[in-house]
A and B are shown apart, each in its own frame.
Chain A
């Protein structure tokens, strides 16, 4: 289980509007069926074939027929997951738009469950015969028992990421201009800047879920990511810095304060310059202060994965069977919140068609609940929390995080730093990883500093923090009032599936963590 900064592909891109497609946009929009109140089509140019105005529209009746095939050998439950994802990226490198790309992936995943067994099959076209074959393949796992599918009824999901215009519909020139601005700002920021790379990635994912328990729900999920990487050179020393952000936005993302292309460019250069003078980090156990925002990856790794219910259903997590027990310092309240507007990890519906809300995981140090998907909720005889997510139609859903946060405490962040005699201040992270079975985690710092006599001093060369999740959560001794969410760059990997997530955290002081530098003593 690990978390990393979303990688920049070398490619990508979106599109100008075309008259013919505009017409289709207008036709499609007012006629949206299945009781969906507000639904903009995917984009003016790309329309999911299974949309009501698409080339292979899927309605409740077709879904019911396929579900009946899926359950023809028995089985307790079946669902259909239709997906049409269009993404684009632009890579600006050495002052020019070096490459642009666009990618279309579509298909149907059919899942049949029989006890704890799952049959899964997928197909990449929406011809009824092909879909039926996938349903029959998935059905092989079941033998006997089960119930026929219930009549399907449309569900109207909430709207947590309304946007004015999908960025895929905005002319490519506008995105190229954003990258150009970032490139120019980075070069202007300091004469030591040697290389600048700026990238823009956008995606629209349209999904339709139909289940044998009668749910039928669609969602359209925009996702945008912008990143700048700068390399500075001074003599024979070289260092890189990067900054990025995004979320479920259109181009209005860049209009927010501090989120313009120039802001990211200057931040990347600042980080590279700071790290140019970095010194060897100390090694050993010491006090560590985590800065707000990015440090939320502590929650993600140290506790988040351990609270995904599949591990607890199997009894393979170190948090198994501990609901109601003290698992963290009483200062700690941890939530998984899918409702944050426009956040990278937010979803209107999960990939099983359920609507997630804000899930309370740890309350004042007491473990209150797990993140559930349909399967684990059945096992725990509780309600699913809407955390069933999957990477694509090629994958079965699992309990996954959305936006995970440690809520704010009472302390002034300055007081927290002042309280440390000798320790490390962790500001930016490159990623983290956890071993679920024992809670051992590692976080990799990309920007960190020494704290000496209550003051932040020298920047430290790339260093790791390592510890055990439950142990570190019990050692949280001060908590700032400055809760921040990291800008949208994080991707979480689990069992080979990647999903976008968010993390949030205030300034946190941990009384002892192992710092993996090179300076002994």
Chain B
């Protein structure tokens, strides 16, 4: 659907909800299309192509809130969307903090910066070309080394989506974006009869920025091969270096704990910690929705407020939570324009591009400066308690010896309360890559418990 059609569809829902008695009505209309092609051992395994669209609605009767969602866009489906919302709002309780943002906070189109998130060429890429790219990526991995003996396949996908937000407070805005990705997933046989799986991927807003399939495939092979011969370690305390993929996962935990909803729910160890040291002074974390072409960029937030850059941690000091209008009211603060509106209509604070700012040390220099330690490339499991900050996860990667990566390691766990973990960051590298909306360069934690044998 064209953006104008989405805006019209959302506006119709808002009007219908207002007529049905809603004091506040906010509707989001979305449409999307995607093509995905997977090959395995050179043969097409899956070609999937589809389009979808949906309507989401949030209403308030006074300060009673309900949300509804439907992919049934028939007249009947749209009517039910509104009727259900009204009925459910009647059932909800008055919430003194509920309400839309003040109208004078809403952004206007002339304020929106161009973010270059849409590639008009991408939609023309057909299944044959998608298969060719996936095949090229997998073939490069298989040809890289004879120890690559199998494959979980390679997948090329492209997706495009548009959405429009219309609110009874007077906001009308729409946005569109594209995304293309290639992932290659080779398998190698290890000496102990185990198999080792590795992968590499790239994803970009614009097709032309995507790495060549061969480069992705070769890197996937390298990452798989270096896992061969992985062993456990004896239990000990040592420095731990997180590569960008693992570091990003740690940063994601911090993101959850600075989320305004977690703060007012007291579900974060960072309650009452604004202005205090929460990390080492090397740590500067910025949530930046204004980066051109970045995966999490947006010109306005889920409530229509103008997007802005938020410095969350500066010099290790917690400077800001991420807030939508509701969380801000609960905490007696101002919204940071961090509202996100899900396809299903619900609103809550979220990150955009949540990034640990790079240091000036190269990754190699950081490693060379680490005589012995654990280099973590992957983490597994759900061992994090946001309320206390306790952190314990399965990890795999490499032993660092004499400043270089040595034997591969698997089946160990790393544990430390995240409050302490962030304070023990004693080196941040410069190797930031913005493939993902939550992103981090390599960093080192001076000491953690590594549990193994």
- Contact check, A141 vs B47: say whether CB atoms are below 8 A apart: yes
Q: A104-B69, A433-B380, A444-B383 are in contact. Are A194 and B348 (CB under 8 A)?
A: no
Give chain A residues whose Cβ lies under 8 Å from the Cβ of B66: 11, 13, 99-101
Give chain B residues whose Cβ lies under 8 Å from the Cβ of A197: 265
Cα-based distance from A435 to B230 in the complex (angstroms): 14
Interface string of A307-324 (1 = CB under 8 A from B): 000000011111000000
Closest-CB distance, A426 to chain B (whole angstroms)? 13
Give chain A residues whose Cβ lies under 8 Å from the Cβ of B74: 49, 55, 125
Partner of B187 from the list A10, A101, A316, A515 (CB cut-off 8 Å) is A316
Interface residues of A, count at CB 8 A: 92
Is A121 an interface position by the 8 A CB rule? yes
Within 8 A of A (CB), among B218-271: 232, 235-237, 265-267, 269, 271
Query: Which segment of B48-56, B137-145, B163-171, B295-303 sits at the interface?
Result: B48-56
Is A453 an interface position by the 8 A CB rule? no
Which chain A residue shows the least CB distance to B394?
A442
Interface string of A410-451 (1 = CB under 8 A from B): 000000000000000000001111111111111111100000
In the complex, which range does the number of interface residues on chain B fall in?
35 or more
Cα-based distance from A438 to B80 in the complex (angstroms): 49
Give chain B residues whose Cβ lies under 8 Å from the Cβ of A104: 69-72, 77, 80-81
Partner of B452 from the list A121, A140, A514 (CB cut-off 8 Å) is A514
- Contact check, B89 vs A100: say whether CB atoms are below 8 A apart: yes
Closest-CB distance, A191 to chain B (whole angstroms)? 16
- Contact check, B411 vs A239: say whether CB atoms are below 8 A apart: no
Is B331 an interface position by the 8 A CB rule? no
Q: A314-B40, A514-B413 are in contact. Are A124 and B84 (CB under 8 A)?
A: no
Cα-based distance from A136 to B290 in the complex (angstroms): 41
Give chain B residues whose Cβ lies under 8 Å from the Cβ of A2: 382
Within 8 A of B (CB), among A74-108: 93, 96-107
- Contact check, A125 vs B235: say whether CB atoms are below 8 A apart: no
Query: Which segment of B13-21, B91-99, B351-359 sits at the interface?
Result: B91-99
Closest-CB distance, A303 to chain B (whole angstroms)? 15
Give chain B residues whose Cβ lies under 8 Å from the Cβ of A120: 46-50
Give chain B residues whose Cβ lies under 8 Å from the Cβ of A207: none
Cα-based distance from A204 to B110 in the complex (angstroms): 45
Is B332 an interface position by the 8 A CB rule? no
- Contact check, B411 vs A121: say whether CB atoms are below 8 A apart: no
Which chain B residue shows the least CB distance to A10?
B346
- Contact check, A106 vs B72: say whether CB atoms are below 8 A apart: yes
- Contact check, A440 vs B394: say whether CB atoms are below 8 A apart: yes
Which chain B residue shows the least CB distance to A103?
B69
- Contact check, B413 vs A98: say whether CB atoms are below 8 A apart: no
Provide the main secondary structure of the chain A interface: strand
Give chain A residues whose Cβ lies under 8 Å from the Cβ of B410: 438, 440
- Contact check, A516 vs B49: say whether CB atoms are below 8 A apart: no
Is B414 an interface position by the 8 A CB rule? yes
Is B313 an interface position by the 8 A CB rule? no
- Contact check, A117 vs B43: say whether CB atoms are below 8 A apart: yes
Is A52 an interface position by the 8 A CB rule? no
- Contact check, A436 vs B95: say whether CB atoms are below 8 A apart: no
- Contact check, B393 vs A442: say whether CB atoms are below 8 A apart: yes
Is B307 an interface position by the 8 A CB rule? no
- Contact check, B232 vs A514: say whether CB atoms are below 8 A apart: yes
Which chain B residue shows the least CB distance to A231?
B266
Is B440 an interface position by the 8 A CB rule? no
- Contact check, B76 vs A55: say whether CB atoms are below 8 A apart: yes
Give chain A residues whose Cβ lies under 8 Å from the Cβ of B51: 123
Within 8 A of A (CB), among B386-412: 387-388, 390-394, 396, 410-412
Query: Which segment of B4-12, B192-200, B365-373, B424-432 sits at the interface?
Result: B192-200
Q: A96-B95, A284-B451, A464-B383 are in contact. Are A117 and B46 (CB under 8 A)?
A: yes
Give chain B residues whose Cβ lies under 8 Å from the Cβ of A238: 266, 269, 271, 387-388
Cα-based distance from A52 to B412 in the complex (angstroms): 55
Q: A117-B46, A394-B52 are in contact. Are A10 and B348 (CB under 8 A)?
A: yes
Give chain B residues whose Cβ lies under 8 Å from the Cβ of A316: 150, 152, 187, 195, 197
A selection of 21 A-B contacts at a CB cut-off of 8 Å is A96-B93, A101-B69, A107-B71, A116-B45, A120-B47, A121-B49, A122-B52, A125-B74, A141-B47, A194-B266, A318-B194, A396-B48, A440-B380, A463-B415, A466-B413, A514-B452, A515-B413, A516-B413, A517-B392, A517-B415, A520-B236
Q: Which 6 A-B pairs have the closest CB atoms?
A: A516-B413, A442-B381, A442-B394, A96-B93, A283-B451, A437-B197
Q: Identify the B interface with A (CB < 8 A).
A: 40, 43-53, 65-74, 76-77, 80-81, 84-85, 87-89, 91-95, 127, 150, 152, 187, 190, 193-197, 232, 235-237, 265-267, 269, 271, 344-346, 348, 380-385, 387-388, 390-394, 396, 410-416, 449, 451-453
